[in-house]
Structure 1
Amino acid sequence: MIAADYPTWFPDEEIDGTYGFDEGALRRVAPVPAPEGFAALWRGWNARIRAVAPRFEAGEYASFGTHEAAEIRYTAGDGTVLGAWIARPRDRAPRVVVVHSHGYGGRERPEFARVPDDAAVVFPLARGLGALNTGVGAPSERDEHVLFGIDDPQSYVLGACVRDLWLTQNIADELWGPLPHYLVGESFGGGVGALALPWDDRFIGATLVVPSFGQYDERLVAPCHGSGEAVRRYAAEHPEARGVLRLFDASSAATFARVPVRIEAALWDAHVPPPGQFGVAAGFRDRELMVLPAGHAEYPGLTEVRQRAIAGGVDHLHRSVARVSSDPR
C-alpha cells in the first residue's frame, strides 16, 4: 500500500474524503440489513426479465485489438429502445461473457482493459447516460438521473438500470449460448452490479470497483461531490424516500450473493464515501478485497495501483471461470 498524505495530495479539497474513518474503522462497517420483501422484489424482477425474448439489432463490427465490437439497439422491458455495445473475440470462440457496466460519466466507447482475450462482452449503457442513451428513458444530468422515479420502487431508475442490464445478458445468451457470465462495474456500475448480482444465476463472479449505492445509513449523513449528495439532500427534505432507498441498498443486496466477488474499495473518496464502499464489501460472503489509497481522484502512484487492480480483477475472473469449470455438478 502506498503511504498516503491526503492534505498534500488534495490541498484544495473541501471535503475530508476519509470521513473520519481509518482502514480499521472502514473494515468494521456492516451492511444494512435487508427489509422485509427485499429478496422477493428483486427475484421477481429478475424472473420477469429472464422470461423476455430479446429484441435487438446489431450494427457493423469494428476491430478493437483482440476483439471486434458492434453497436446494438434493443427494446427494454418497458418498451424503451436503448443502445449498448457487444464484442466478441476475433480469433476464437468465447468461453465466458463479461457484463461490463460503467460509472456515472457514462461510456463513450467499448473498453477492454478488464476483458480477457477469450471473453465475449456486453457493455450495457444505463438509460439516460452514455454516448448512445443520452436522455433516453431517464434524464442525462447526474443529479436528476439518480432521483428519477424515486417515489416508487417500481419506477426508480436504479431498478430500471438493473433490469436493462439483465436484458443484455439475454442478448448475450442469444448470441453466444449459455456461457458463464462475469460482472465488472465501477462506481455507478459497481453499485448497480451489486444490486444485479445476487438474483441472476448466470453470474459466476464479479469485480466491483469503488461501488456506489451502498450503506445508506452512512451515505445519507455524508456530504459528497457524487450522486449521493443529490440523494442526501432529497432524503432530508423527503424522509419517506428512505423507505424506497432501503430497497436499493447495494450493501443489503450483497448479503444475498453466493458467488466470489472482488471489491476494490478506497480509503479516501469525496465522490463515493468510503464507508458505503466498505459496507458493500462487508456484505459479500466470498469476497476478495483490494484497498485503494483513494477513489475518483488523481494521486501519486495511481498508474501503478490501477495496473495492479486490473491484473487482480482479470485473475479473479479466470479463477471464477476455473471454479465453475471444475465443479462436478
Structure 2
Amino acid sequence: MDADPPPAPPDFDDFWRSTHAELTKPPLRWQVEREYDDARLRRRVEEVTFESATGERAFAWITYPAGGVIRRGVVIGHGYQGRDDGPDEYVPIPSAAKIFPCAPGLPRSLSPTIPAAPAEHVLHGIRSRETYVHRFCAADVWRAGSVLLHRFPSIEAPLDYAGGSFGGGIGALALPWDDRFGRAHLYLPSFGHHPARLRQPCTGSGEAVRQAVAHDPSLRSVLAYFDAATAATRIRIPVYVSVARRDPAVPPLGQLAVFQALAGPKHLYVLTAGHMRYDTEARELADRDRELADFFT
C-alpha cells in the first residue's frame, strides 16, 4: 500500500490557524456535574460539561488516580459510534489525568441541531468549510485539553492525545495547530486521503460521504480542508499509528496515508484487521499495548 497525501488547498494552514484562534477564545465555561470512585477503573471519575465550539453543551468524563500530584494529562477521542458506556483505560498511562470528551452531536453530547447517526453526522454542514461538523469536532479536542489543564494546573508535561477511527482522524486534524500536545496515538485513523476514500465503497461513515460527493462533486473542495493525511504533514510531534491490513469501515489506504504523511518521529503497528473480529486480535492488541506503554513513557 502506498499513498502520498493529497495536495493541500493554498490557504489550508490559514484556515486551521484562524479556526483555532476563533474557537479557543476564552472564557471556556465548564463545570463538574457528578463525581465518584470507579472500582473497575480504580480511579476517581468526574462527569463534566463544557461549552462546545458549537456553542452547545458538550459532555466528558475525567478520570485520575486518587492519590498524588497529577503531572500528565491525556485527551482521548472515540469512534463514530460515540462514547455512551463511560471511560476506559486503553491509554496505558496510569499516573495521568484523562479526559474523554464526547464529540458534538454524538452520544452524551447530543444536540438539537446535529444528527447523531454517523451517516448523517458526517454530512452535517458539509457544504461549507466554516459550518462542517468536523471543524467543531476538532475544536472540541482543543477545548477538552483546556478543561483538563484548568482542572489540573499541576500538569507539567505536554498533553498526550489518543483516538481511534473517528477519533484518530479528528485527532490528526486537531494536533498540528495546538502546541500543548507532545505525543499521540492514532488508531485506525479515519478521513485520510479523501480522493482515495471517495473511490472505495465501505461500511463506515465514509460511504455516506462517497455517495454525497457522487451527487455533488463540489463537496470535494470542502473535504480538502478536512483530510487527515493532509493535516498529518503538519504534525511534528512523535506519533504511534495503528493501521489495519483489512478494514471494511475505514479504507486501509487512507489509514496508511495518515502515517506516511506524518512529518515528525513516527512508529507503525500493523494489525491484521480493523472494525472486525479475528482470531489473533487479542494477541496483536496486547503486543501493541505493550509498545504503547513504552511509547507514552
TM-score, with structure 2 as normaliser: 0.94
Aligned counterparts of 1:176 and 1:31: Cα–Cα separation in 2:
37
| Paired residues of 1:52 and 1:77 also in contact (CA < 8 A) | no
Q: Deviations over 1:215-271 (max 9, x none)?
A: 011100000000000000000111000000000000000000110000001010111
RMSD of Structure 2 on Structure 1 (CA): 1.3
Provide the residue aligned with 2:248 in structure 1.
270
Alignment partners' CA distance in 2, 1:310 and 1:200: 26
Equivalence for 2:14: 40
Residue 78 and residue 188 in structure 1: after superposition, are their counterparts in 2 closer, same or farther (change >3 A)?
A: closer
1:136 CA displacement: 4.8
Aligned residues: 291
Q: For residue 173 of structure 2, what is the aligned residue in structure 1?
A: 195
Q: Which range is displaced more, 51-60 or 209-218? A: 51-60
For residues 279-325 of structure 1, what are the alpha-carbon distances to aligned partners after superposition, in whole Å with 9 as ceiling and x for unaligned? Answer: 0111112210001111000001111111122222232111xxxxxxx
Q: 1:151 aligns with which of 113, 127, 130?
A: 127
1:124-145 CA deviation, whole Å, 9 max, x = no partner? 1011112x12345521111000
Q: Residue 185 of structure 2: which of 201, 207, 218 is its match? A: 207
Q: Does 1:280 align with 2:258?
A: yes
Aligned identity (percent) is 37
The more displaced of 198-207 and 56-65 is 56-65
How far, CA to CA, are the matches of 1:230 and 1:50 in structure 2? 30
1:104 deviates by 0.8
The amino acid that maps onto 1:164 is D
User: Is 1:174 the equivalent of 2:150?
Assistant: yes
Cross-structure match for 1:294:
273
* Alignment of structure 1 residues 1-329 onto 2, 5 Å: 26=1, 28-64=2-38, 65-107=41-83, 108-130=85-107, 132-177=108-153, 179=156, 180-285=158-263, 286-318=265-297
Cα distance in 1, alignment partners of residues 50 and 118 from structure 2? 23
Verify the 8 A CA contact 1:67 1:117 in the aligned structure 2: no
The residue that corresponds to 1:10 in the other structure is none
Report deviation, 1:50.
3.5
Instruction: Confirm or deny: 8 A CA contact 1:122 1:172 kept in the other structure.
Output: yes
Structure number, greater radius of gyration: 1
Structure 2 counterpart SS, 1:133? coil
CA distance in 2, matches of 1:127, 1:79: 10
Structure 1 SS opposite 2:273: coil
Partner of 1:7: none
Structure 2 Cα separation of the partners of residues 265 and 211 of structure 1? 7
Opposite residue 44 of structure 2, the aligned amino acid is: E
Partner SS state of residue 48, structure 2? strand
What's the offset of the Cα at 1:49?
3.3
Q: Which runs of 4+ in 1 moved over 4 A?
A: none
Residue identity in the other structure for 1:315: D
**1:61 aligned counterpart, secondary structure:** strand
Q: How far apart are the structure 1 equivalents of 2:67 and 2:113? A: 36
Equivalent residue for 1:325?
none
- For the 8 Å contact 1:127–1:136, the answer to whether it is kept is no
Change (3 A) 1:301 1:249: same
Deviation (angstroms), 1:94: 1.8
Asked if the contact 1:190/1:211 (under 8 Å) is kept, the reply is yes
Name the stretch that deviates more: 222-231 or 78-87.
Answer: 78-87
Q: Which runs of 5+ in 2 are unaligned?
A: none
Secondary structure at the counterpart of residue 276 of structure 1: helix
| Aligned partner letter, 1:114 | V
SS across alignment from 1:223:
coil
- Report the TM-score, using the length of structure 1 for normalisation: 0.85
SS of residue matched to 2:37 = strand
